[in-house]
Amino acid sequence: MRSSMPECERRLWSKLRNRQVAGVKFRRQVPIGPFIADFACVEARLIVEVDGETHGNDEQEARDAARTAKLEREGWRVMRFWVNEVTTELDWVVDRIREAITGELTAA
C-alpha cells in the first residue's frame, strides 16, 4: 500500500469520497485477496483502477488481465482508466463510474 496518492488519484478521490457518486461509499487502497485496489465500492462490487505508464507493456497488460479475470470470478467488476484520462477528462471518468454503479445497483 502506498502512503501517498499520485495527483491524478487524489483528484479522482476528491470526486469519489463522501458518497458523491450515486450515493455509494468508495474506499481507497483496498486489500482484496492478494491485490490492493486503487478504489473500491463494496456495495456495487466495483473496483476502479488508475493505470500509469508502467501498465503500457505486454507483460504488465497480461498481469492486469489475469488480475481482472480473478477479481471478476470473485464477483467484482473492474474498471480501468489511464492516468491521462483521469487528468484531462475527470468528469467523463466520473460519469462512466456513475453509470457502472447505477447499472450495477439497479440490476441487484
pLDDT at 31: 96
pLDDT at 2: 52
With a cut of 70, list the residues of the chain below it in pLDDT.
Answer: 1-3, 53-57, 104-108
Burial class (CB in 10 A: 0-12, 13-18, 19+), 16: buried
> How many Cβ atoms are within 10 Å of 71's Cβ, its own excluded?
20
pLDDT at 97: 97
Asked if residues 45 and 101 have their Cβ atoms less than 8 Å apart, the reply is: no
Domain ranges of the chain: 7-107
**Among 32, 52, 48, CA closest to 40:** 48
Residue 11 cell numbers, joined: 483528484
pLDDT at 54: 61
Distance (Å, rounded) from C-alpha 9 to C-alpha 5? 6
pLDDT at 10: 96
Q: What is the pTM of this model?
A: 0.86
3-state secondary structure of 51: strand
pLDDT at 30: 95
7-107, superfamily in CATH?
A: VSR Endonuclease (3.40.960.10)
